Structure 1
Amino acid sequence: MDFRKKRLSTEEAKKIDMTNYLLSLGHQPVEIRNADYWYRSPLREEQEPSFKVNQKLNLWFDHGLGKGGNLIDFGILYHRCTVRELLQKLNTDFSLQQPTLLPSNKNIELENKIKILGDIPLTSPSLLRYLEERKIPLEIANEFCREVRYGLGKKTYFGIGFKNNSGGYEIRNLYFKTSSSPKDITTINNATEEVLVFEGFIDFLSFKATTKNLPEKGQDFVVLNSVSFFERARPFMETHKQIRLYLDRDTTGINCTQRALSMSPKYHDESTLYKNHKDFNDWIMNPNKAPKKHLGRKM
C-alpha cells in the first residue's frame, strides 16, 4: 500500500499491521507466543502484559479492559478521537517507511526491537534538510538532540534522537517516526516557578527557535512524548506555580488540555496562539497564516 498517493479508507487502515503501528507509537511486545504478541497495555498503566495482538488475524484484545478489535477500534480509544479524525491522523503521522517488525515465527525472540547502536552530533544531510524544512535552526537542535543510529531486525537506520528521562529516544526523520525503549517523558528542570508543556519534541524545538529573546534558563519544560503520559508528568508539572500547555490542536490534545484546565487553576491553555494550525511547528512553518501574538512571558 502506498500511503503517499491517496488518503486511507477505513478498510485500508484496518489492514495496517498492528505490531508496526504499536511500534510507531513507542510500544514493543514483552513476549511473543507463536502469532500472539503480548504488550503492557497502551490504553492504561499496568506491570504485567495483558494486551494481546494476534499478528495472523491482525486483531487485538485487552484482557484488563475486556475490549478488543481491529486497528480502527484501537486507534479511537488510544487517541480518544472519531474514526474520521483517526484516518486523518494516520495519513499525517503514520510512517511512510514501514519496517517489517518481528515476523511471525514459532521460535522468534525479541531480537527485532529497536536497538540504539550509537549517537553522534547531527551531521547527515537528509536530517539537516528535515530540520530546515521544519524551520528549526541547527544550533537549537544540537543543544537538545543527537543523530542516533539504530537497528531494527537486520537493518540499520538513523534519525534525530531526543532523549527521555529513562534513557530512551524519540526518533524522527523525513519518513519515519518511532521511539526506543524505555518510553518516558522528558523534563528540563531549571528550578523555575513556570513550566511549559509540549506534546512532542519538534514542537519544543520550535518554541526554542522562536523565543531566543527569552532567558536561556528562565523556564522549565516537559515534553510528554505521548499524550498518554500526561498523568506521569503531573507530579513534576504541579510543583510549579504556572503550567502552560502547548498541546496539539487535534481532538486528543484539546481534550487533554480541557481536562487539565478543570483540574487546577495552575494550568493555562497556550494553544490558542496557533489555533488555526495543527500544532506549534505547523504554525512556524506557515507564518503567513498565523495570527500575530507575542510569545514572551505572561505576568
Structure 2
Amino acid sequence: MNYSDLKHEANRIKKDFSIIEYFQGLVSAGALKYEGMQGKEHFFGFLSQRTGSIAVDHRTNVWYDHSAGRGGDVLEAVQVFENKTFAQSIEQLSDLPTERTVVPKNKHKAAPKIKIESVKKVSHPALVNYIRTRGLEPDEISDFAKEVHWGNKGKKYFAVGFPNESGGWVLRSSIFKGNILGGGISIQVLGTPDRTKIFEGWFDFLSYLKLSGATDFKAVILNSSVNLKLSLIMDVLAEFEVVDLYLDNDATGEKYTNFFMKAAQLYHYCRSNAISTDWDLNKLKGSHDKFGKLISTLKISSRDVVGIWSFQTEVTDQRYRYKGFEDLNEVLKPHVVTGNQNQIRQ
C-alpha cells in the first residue's frame, strides 16, 4: 500500500474494528487476563498483575494502560502489545478477525515463568461457589473441569481449568479469565458423533450438557469468538455436514454466526457443483470481502451467486433456544427464572 492507501485503511480500521475483540484475542492467546467491567469500561491485565490496569472503552473504541500511562486506538494497541510497526498493524487488522492470528509481544519470554503446580478435582470453596454462580455443580462438570494451581514470577494463583488443543489451560474464576501455556480452541468428542456443535465458551458447553442430556456429538469450544477462523470452519464442514451453532446473543455472536453460515453455503455449493473446496486462504489476506474474492477466484459467474446465498445447508443457528439471554449459560444462572430450560434439546 502507498501512504494514501495506508491512511485510508487506518481510518477504516479505527472506525470498524472492535477494540474489545482485539483485547479478547490477546486473552485467548494467553497474553492478558480479563478482569471484568468497572463502570462502563472493560479491564484487562497481564498475568503478573494482581489488578488489571488496562481500561478499554467499547463506546469510543480506545484503550488506556493506567500503570504505563499510555493508550490509544486499536492500531496503537497492536504496536504496543505485539511490537508491530504502524504499517504492519494495518496489514494485520486488514484481515477479518476470522483470519487474524495474535502474536503477543515477548510471549516466548513469559511462558517459561509460568509453572503448573497441581491439577486436581475442584474442591476449593471459592471455586465451588464460582461454579454454582454459573448454575452448575462441581460434580456435574468433574469430567471436564479441574482445579489448577500455578505460579508466575513468585506469585501463586488458582482457578477452574479446562484443557485446550494447544496443550494449555483455559482458566476461569470470579476474579480471573485467561489462558496459560497456550490459547486456542478446545475439542470434546462425546459418544459416536454424527454432528458438530460450536460453543463460544466452556460454560455454554457444560450448560448445554445439563439442559439437554445430549450425547453423540463433537463439541468445538471456541474460548473466544476470534478463534472462529475460516480455516476452522472448513475443517468442521469437511468432517460433518450437520453443525449447530450456540454463540452469544449479541452483535459479535450475530456476526460470527452469519460468517459461519455464509461460509457453509459457499462450501456446500462448491461441493454440490464439483467446484474445488481446496481454497487457498493465504490469497484472502487483506481482502475486505473474502467471500467475494473466493467466488471470483473459483470463477463462479455472477448469475450463479444468488444460488450460493440461497443454498440450503444443515448448519443451524440455535440461539432462538435461549432468546432473551446473553448466552446459553445465562439460562442456568441461579438468579434467572425461566421456562427456556425445556427448549434446550438435541
Scaled by the length of structure 1, the TM-score of the pair is 0.65
Quick one: distance in 2 between partners of 1:62 and 1:121? 46
Alpha-carbon shift at residue 184 of structure 1 (Å): 2.1
CA, structure 1 residues 18+200, in 2 after alignment: closer, same or farther (shift >3 Å)? farther
Alpha-carbon shift at residue 223 of structure 1 (Å): 0.3
Does the CA contact (< 8 Å) of 2:149 and 2:157 recur in 1? Answer: yes
Does the CA contact (< 8 Å) of 1:114 and 1:151 recur in 2? Answer: yes
SS at match of 1:15: strand
Does the CA contact (< 8 Å) of 1:115 and 1:180 recur in 2? Answer: no
Quick one: distance in 1 between partners of 2:81 and 2:343? 50
> How many equivalent pairs are there?
229
Measured against aligned partners, the alpha-carbon deviations of 1:27-72 in whole angstroms (never above 9, x if no partner) come to xxxxxxxx9xxxxxx99xxxxxxx53169xxx9756434279xxxx
Match of 2:120 in 1: 120
Instruction: Point out the more displaced range, 186-195 or 245-254.
Output: 186-195
Scaled by the length of structure 2, the TM-score of the pair is 0.57
Does the CA contact (< 8 Å) of 2:79 and 2:86 recur in 1? Answer: yes
Quick one: distance in 2 between partners of 1:263 and 1:12? 28
Match of 1:268 among 316, 327, 330: 316
- How does 1:53-202 map onto structure 2 within 5 Å? 53=80, 63-66=87-90, 109-110=109-110, 114-189=114-189, 190-202=191-203
SS at match of 1:132: helix
Match of 2:79 among 52, 66, 69: 52
Alpha-carbon shift at residue 114 of structure 1 (Å): 4.0
Does the CA contact (< 8 Å) of 1:222 and 1:233 recur in 2? Answer: no
Measured against aligned partners, the alpha-carbon deviations of 1:83-113 in whole angstroms (never above 9, x if no partner) come to xxxxxxxxxxxxxxxxxxx99xxxx953685
Alpha-carbon shift at residue 252 of structure 1 (Å): 1.3
SS at match of 2:220: strand
Aligned AA (2:79): K
Match of 2:219 among 218, 221, 238: 221
Q: CA RMSD in A?
A: 3.7
Aligned AA (2:196): V
Alpha-carbon shift at residue 276 of structure 1 (Å): 0.8
Alpha-carbon shift at residue 275 of structure 1 (Å): 1.9
Unpaired runs of at least 5, structure 2: 1-34, 42-55, 99-104, 265-312
SS at match of 2:158: strand
CA, structure 1 residues 54+168, in 2 after alignment: closer, same or farther (shift >3 Å)? closer
* Max Rg structure: 2
Does the CA contact (< 8 Å) of 2:325 and 2:331 recur in 1? Answer: yes
The alignment-based identity, stated in percent, is: 23
